[in-house]
Amino acid sequence: MMHESMDTLGEPPPPRGVRTEWSAVPKHIQQPFESWAGRPVVSAITQPSGFSPGVAARLRLADGRGVFVKAVGSDANADSPVFHRREARIVAALPPDVPVPRLLWSFDEGEGGWVVLVFEEADGRHPRQPWQSDELQQVLDALAELTARLTPSPLPPGAVRSASARVERGICGWRLLRSDAAETHSRLDDWSRRNLAALAELESRAPDAVRGNTLLHFDIRADNVLLGDNHVWFFDWPHASIGPAWLDVVWLIPSVTMQGGPPPEDVFARYSGSRVADPDAVTCALAALSGYFTRQSLQPTLPGLPTLRAFQAAQGAVARRWLAQRTGLA
């Protein structure tokens, strides 16, 4: 059994950055957009969910057309323009038959400047919280369909990194924690501190465990999903990677349980792809994910993203519980 001192789940923190209003975007950035659109903006409704400090807004044009705009400058967060540029390349290369809002236009000021992405407007709403059983099944089924369409990856070779490379070089929190200072170790929960060597060893097998040929979103959460009348929209693709089809669901599950959904094993069992996923590979991937969330939650707060560390900590608590269940580590 898990040690009782491990984190207790509470009210989930919101996935929100400090949004910039469209009206606050510099005029020299708004003007190219309106030149492309051919009409002025008459209303802008900011969308609060999502980890970005920039603009995320539904814009209504004078002729009644609607678009969704993401825009950010380097001052808000140095990484965000990089993510926007990457997302523009990825979404532009996706096949037209996947449920991803199309990229209509983009504008890039260059290094140190603003990046603007304009997408078709997708009708829908985020899954309700706590997660509802029917909506959860709708998302799981849609993910199974999405990965079937994206296997093998339709993107050109080298367009995105492999999940294996990303896990080996960046999603390796337990290994990094072993070399971190004692002050960081003192902030770990008892279970993680006690099992650190075993967790790092299990995590070391994750790069081989997540090899595959499916184009993955790699960052699915409720705030990256919209439920429409007839299908599920998946958006925010800057972290897309190549790996096994089941990995997006494993990456999703900690946030589902954190946000009032069923226990992780119950969620995974409801996913059709779980029946063909190698159990040991899933456990190794989960070890990497739990280590990533655990270590990231201990890092300093990022500019414009005040709830990110708490969100990672809450996902980490779920992931560690799930890992303890699958491994028997006490």
Supply the pLDDT for residue 225: 97
Quick check: helix, strand or coil at residue 16? strand
Does residue 15 fall inside a structural domain? no
Supply the pLDDT for residue 2: 35
Domain end call among 71, 88, 120:
120
Quick check: helix, strand or coil at residue 224? helix
Q: How far is CA 200 from the centre of its chain?
A: 23
Q: What are phi and psi of 84, to 5 degrees?
A: -65, -40
User: What type of residue is 22?
Assistant: W
Identify the segments of the chain with pLDDT beneath 70: 1-10
Does residue 116 fall inside a structural domain? yes
**Residues 87, 44: one domain?**
yes
Does residue 13 fall inside a structural domain? no
**Residues 90, 182: one domain?**
no
- Residues 139 and 125: their CA atoms lie apart, in Å, by 12
CATH of residue 322: 3.90.1200.10
- Residue 162's domain comprises 133-327
Question: Angle at the Cα of 307 (from 234 to 266), degrees rounded to 5?
Answer: 55
- Comparing CA positions, the residue from 218, 207, 186 lying closest to residue 86 is 218
Cβ proximity of 67 and 59 under 8 Å = yes
Per-residue 3-state assignment (H helix, E strand, C coil) for 146-212:
HHHHCCCCCCCCCCCCEHHHHHHHCCCHHHHHHHCCHHHHHCCCHHHHHCHHHHHHHHCCHHHHCCC
Burial of 197 (0-12, 13-18, 19+ CB in 10 A): exposed
Domain end call among 64, 87, 120:
120
Does residue 56 fall inside a structural domain? yes
Residue 102 DSSP class: P
Does residue 59 fall inside a structural domain? yes
In angstroms, the first-to-last Cα distance of the chain is: 5
Instruction: Count how many domains the chain has.
Output: 2
**Residues 106, 222: one domain?**
no
**Residues 167, 310: one domain?**
yes
Does residue 127 fall inside a structural domain? no
Does residue 285 fall inside a structural domain? yes
Region of 131 please: left (phi>0), alpha (psi -120 to 50) or beta: beta
**Residues 144, 279: one domain?**
yes
Supply the pLDDT for residue 9: 56
CATH of residue 43: 3.30.200.20
Does residue 14 fall inside a structural domain? no
Supply the pLDDT for residue 1: 31
Q: Say what the pTM is.
A: 0.93
**Residues 137, 110: one domain?**
no
**Residues 175, 115: one domain?**
no
Supply the pLDDT for residue 5: 35
**Residues 172, 287: one domain?**
yes
